[in-house]
Amino acid sequence: MLYTSLVMLAFALLGASVGSFLNLCIDRLPLDESILRPPSHCPTCGRRLSALDLVPVLSYLWLHGRCRYCGASIPLRTPMVEAMSGLIFALLYWKFGLSAELGMSLTYTCFLIVIFFIDLEHYLILNKVVYPGIVVAFVFSLFWPGIGLKDSLIGGAVAFAIILIPHLIYPPGMGLGDVRLALMVGLMNGYPQALVAVMLAILGGGLLAAAALALGLKKRGEGLPFGTFLAVGAMVSLLWGQGIYDWYMGWFRG
Ligand SMILES: [Zn+2]
């Protein structure tokens, strides 16, 4: 118990540090900037950030969310991504233990978090993130005991087909980026967990859209970033997909 808690804490710290890098990817990839160079700097004053400025979550707190050098405010998303990555890394260790699945699911998490935030902020699902994601998911399926190549391909095909239909009916509502992302998520989750991911995204997106409309936060016709919901669906399905699927199917077996 103590051992598990300590390792979970270690994975939370690892996740938070990886989250720092994911922030940089979320900042730079939509602008077509390199994620390798230059090192992290303040986007306002351009000062290079020191190790002390880059401690996940804590730097944000003790700098009160402002750049140490020029006082420009740091987006709240920065500590959010770090905290989220830390939490998910710890949860994945708790689920998979030290295993190949853990390494692969941590990699998926990085893709999903970057996609979640870039779609949320820019309404964009970048090919340079999704295409490598598709390749990685395809290769990983060969090494994932519980999924395997066949279930992965079926999952990819099913998710792709489900999201292709709304895209063909109404392209402005569901873009090609969403369709490609569905393929990636389906390959990652495999069948039947891919169904759980897609259904959660459709349900979550639908409910939130209805709520936003009812509260007057959005006008009819204004879109929601579906990729953001699909990333959440994929993550939840990675952690609890089989359980959700069994629970749902249980209703029909009586
Ligand atoms: Zn600054």
79-132 pLDDT tens trace: 999 999 999 999 999 999 999 999 999 999 999 999 999 999 999 999 999 999
Cα 97 to ligand 1 centre (Å): 40
Mean pLDDT for the stretch of residues 65-75: 94
Cα 120 to ligand 1 centre (Å): 25
7-56 pLDDT tens trace: 999 999 999 999 999 999 999 999 999 999 889 999 899 999 998 899 99
Cα 12 to ligand 1 centre (Å): 28
Place of tokens 């979320």: 26
Task: Give the tokens for residue 107.
Answer: 């990699």
Beta bridge partners of 41: 48
Cα 60 to ligand 1 centre (Å): 13
Place of tokens 């340079």: 128
Cα 197 to ligand 1 centre (Å): 40
User: Average pLDDT, whole number, for the chain?
Assistant: 93
Task: Give the tokens for residue 56.
Answer: 């996940």
Cα 48 to ligand 1 centre (Å): 9
Mind spelling out the 3-state secondary structure of 130-168? HHHHHHHHHHHHCCCCCCHHHHHHHHHHHHHHHHHHHHH
Mean pLDDT for the stretch of residues 202-225: 82
Cα 47 to ligand 1 centre (Å): 6
Cα 252 to ligand 1 centre (Å): 58
Cα 207 to ligand 1 centre (Å): 39
Axis crossing angle, helix 77-96 with helix 100-122, rounded to the nearest 10 = 150
Give me the pLDDT at residue 98, please: 95
Cα 44 to ligand 1 centre (Å): 5
The whole-model pTM stands at 0.93
Cα 49 to ligand 1 centre (Å): 9
Give me the pLDDT at residue 146, please: 84
Give me the pLDDT at residue 221, please: 62
Cα 194 to ligand 1 centre (Å): 43
Cα 223 to ligand 1 centre (Å): 34
Cα 233 to ligand 1 centre (Å): 36
Cα 72 to ligand 1 centre (Å): 5
Cα 57 to ligand 1 centre (Å): 17
DSSP result, 180-247? HHHHHHHHHH-TTHHHHHHHHHHHHHHHHHHHHHHTTSS-TT----HHHHHHHHHHHHHHHHHHHHHH
136-182 pLDDT tens trace: 999 999 999 889 999 999 999 999 999 999 999 988 888 999 999 99
